[in-house]
Amino acid sequence: MIHKQVVNHRQIAWLVGSLLMTGMMISFLRSVVQVAKMDAWFSQIVPACYALLVAYVLAELVRAYPGKNLFEIMFIICGKWIGGVVNGLLLFYIWVILALDIKGAADFLHISLLPQTPVEIILLVFVLVLMYYGKTSLEVAARVNEIYFPAYFIMYLLLYFLLMNEYSIERLEPILSTSLERIAVSNLLPLGVYGDVLLFGAFLHASSESRLLFAAMKHGIMIVCFTTTIALLILLGVMGYVIAGRLNFPIYILVQQIHLTDFLDRVEMILFSLWFPAFSMKAIFAYMAFLVGVGSFGGQLHYNTFNAPSGCFLVVTSLLAFSKVSDIDQFISYSFPLLVLLFQVPLLLFLLIAARRKKREAGQGLIPKGTKLHRFYRLMVWGGVISLAGCILTILIGALLRDKSPASGMATAIAYVCFLVIGLLTSYGEMQALNHGKQRLGRPKQQGKFRQ
């Protein structure tokens, strides 16, 4: 069944937020803390830059191959056989993401909330939810995500105020005292999680404006970078790196420390009620991408044919792939970044060259040059570039300073957070400027053919 769908820029940004941020909150942050200790909150800037590179390549593919998704583009560029092999590798990569998410969520629910329920039952019920959404389209998941992700984001920003009586800045000092090598390694570990943004390649056919797609994905990536940094700051300030590095579910234990009154001491249940739907949207998004990839091999216009077989396949293989929680944590922290570097980087380089070599007509830009809106757009773009460069330079300068006094460390920390805030605000301004330019040109909303 072919039908048109509308996924606007805000929905894309928030889908990126759910896709990248919710998965890191289970057990991944423990490995980052183990490596970088009290400076683990500097670990998000390099993977965010990598995710921006992936978003840029996807935007170039939208411009070069409008109305085509990543699987179709691979068949066009590489032909039937080589393209089939590459698409098979892409499906394997998506399966790895799904297996990690499904098994990780099932183990988390079994250990923290449902200890008497078998993991197999929890996993089966979760996959049934994925199969239910597999009958719909990305538009449905995006609209559901609009309900939960903003509340989830605001809840994380409120964690500092809710834990203010437990917070101690001394647990972070001396700031940037960890070696630069450890900070660099901690920036490599999240590459596997941030590489999940490649899943948007399965839905490129639902996008028509490449620049607006890139700006929306950029804003979502900056939301994840900023929020995860704040979460790490709170985690380390409340528990310290020794305790945080030993916990299986550090964020869940962190929220358990909130005690507002004598009768409201289970605030983690409120956060969980917001986290689980947002995390489910991530798994649903990956499952839909898997269905799109499977359907591309058979040329099926109705992807629901593969919904039931794919769900049964995921139930069995997820149970066999990762038997323990520690296996999932070790794979996400150390094997997954290596998989991303060995598979995604050559693929992205190849796709970028192919997109640049394809001849295409030069279309009218979303924002006419010389206008006030264009000047604002350029200011936002350069503000984002300067903020990212400023974050990296702040880490380098702060780590190389011989004087590790509390004053210098606090100054570098404040500068780093300020650059992050500037990057978040400028990415929003860039996205809004392009959206206003699109509306002034009178172009229709972002539409495309969604084959599912």
221-266 pLDDT per residue, tens: 999 999 999 989 988 988 888 888 888 788 888 888 877 766 666 7
The full DSSP string for 160-195 is HHHTGGG--GGGGPSTT-S-HHHHHHHHHTTHHHHG
Backbone region of residue 299 per phi and psi (left: phi > 0; alpha: psi in -120 to 50; beta: other values):
left
pLDDT score at 436: 83
pLDDT score at 45: 93
Going along the chain from its start, the domains and CATH numbers come out as 8-364 (1.20.1740.10)
CB contact set of 380 (below 8 Å; sequence gap of 6+)? 426, 427, 429, 430, 433
Sites in the chain below the pLDDT cut of 70: 1-6, 25-27, 261-265, 299-303, 359-365, 402-405, 441-452
pLDDT score at 410: 83
Tell me which residue of 21, 86, 16, 23 sits closest to 52, measured CA to CA: 16
Burial class (CB in 10 A: 0-12, 13-18, 19+), 400: exposed
pLDDT score at 304: 72
The pair of structure tokens assigned to 407 is: 């004053």
pLDDT score at 114: 83
pLDDT score at 449: 41
Q: Which helix (H) or strand (E) holds 65?
A: none
How many other β-carbons are positioned within 10 Å of the β-carbon of residue 108?
A: 24
d(CA 215, CA 381): 9
Tell me which residue of 380, 392, 394, 377 sits closest to 423, measured CA to CA: 380
CA dihedral 298, 299, 303, 306 (to 10 degrees): 0
pLDDT score at 229: 92
How many other β-carbons are positioned within 10 Å of the β-carbon of residue 428?
A: 19
pLDDT score at 263: 62
d(CA 181, CA 56): 28
Chain centre distance of CA 195: 8
CA dihedral 217, 220, 225, 230 (to 10 degrees): 170
For the stretch 295-338, pLDDT in tens is 888 765 556 778 888 888 888 888 888 777 777 777 887 888 89
d(CA 151, CA 321): 33
